[in-house]
Amino acid sequence: MKNSIRHISERRILFLTFLLLLSCYGCETDDEQTVAMFTTNLVLAEEFDTDGIPNPEVWDYDIGTGPNGDGWGNQELQYYTDRTDNVTVQNGVLLITAKEEPFEGASYTSARLLTKDLFEQRYGRFEARIRLPFGQGIWPAFWMLGADIDENPWPAAGEIDIMEYRGQEPTKILGSVHGPGYSAGAAISKEFNLENDRFDTGFHIFGIEWGPEFVNFYVDDMLYNQITPEDVTGPWVFDKPFFILINVAVGGTFVGAPSEETVFPQTMLIDYVRVHENTNTN
């Protein structure tokens, strides 16, 4: 397996050591429980080693401009497709490409992959190694939705944004949760700033550690935020299975429209997506 997971144990030790140090402050019992949740049982490893279409046993696609034709509720400008022009695997990397082109009434195309009805999990470590695109109006994301969303429409189903990025701000990403009473612009969120580097010039690992009553966010194994039920302004809905989404949007309320300086095509490169389960909590 390329990009061997031999480094996971080393990262885990550093991560747990950091959390253990945090347990010296605040409620000792709660912090000790948080440390005890993490294990290293790998349950999904999408390494994108086979050229062509992404693994159909794991990945499906959203197609179009949203069920209401409103840019997926965000006034996004792209039409999502499953064409190889927009999504393909080459040389061990998943490529999601946003293009400027007329297509089905839209001015841009791109792709959004999801594991809905194919893979879902409650709790664990979810991570991806990604090189992000760049430019005004480019909106990539690696995120999750509650698997009960068909019966429990957003935001009630819950959303975890592992990584959300404005293409015009190549040194910043956001990690957020959305739920009833704290969705969209009221999401519980924190920004991570990359020092002396940019997210569009190399690969970085974006991930969460998720257990009962906490979601921890990290970039390149640096823990930068923890969200707990005490932090949200409504019910905690992160106690059930979620599925994964990964996409590149164009335009929308979060980033604004592309400018004349935005260069197309823009491609997000995904080296791997991996999920570990917390055997103590499933």
Q: Which residues of the chain have pLDDT under 50?
A: 3-37
pLDDT at 190: 98
| Calpha distance 151→2 (Å, rounded) | 39
Q: Which residues contact 280 (CB under 8 A, 6 or more apart)?
A: 36, 37, 39
Spatial contact of 63 and 82, defined as CB atoms under 8 Å apart: yes
pLDDT at 14: 46
pLDDT at 279: 77
Identity of the amino acid at 146: G
pLDDT at 282: 59
- Cis, peptide link before residue 229, omega less than 30° from 0: no
Q: Encode 164-192: b = buried (16+ Cβ within 10 Å), e = exposed.
A: bbbbbbbeebbbbbbbbebbeeebbbeeb
Q: Could you tell me the two tokens for 166? A: 């404005």
Distances (CA, A) of 124 to 138, 165, 248: 29, 23, 25
Distances (CA, A) of 242 to 117, 146, 233, 261, 275: 10, 4, 21, 37, 12
| Mode of pairing for the β-strands spanning 124-131 and 112-114 | unpaired
Q: Could you tell me the two tokens for 176? A: 């957020």
Q: Encode 119-136: b = buried (16+ Cβ within 10 Å), e = exposed.
A: bbbbbbbbbbbbbbbbbb
| Calpha distance 262→57 (Å, rounded) | 35
Beta bridge partners of 108: 78, 100
Q: Annotated catalytic sites, by residue?
A: 159, 164
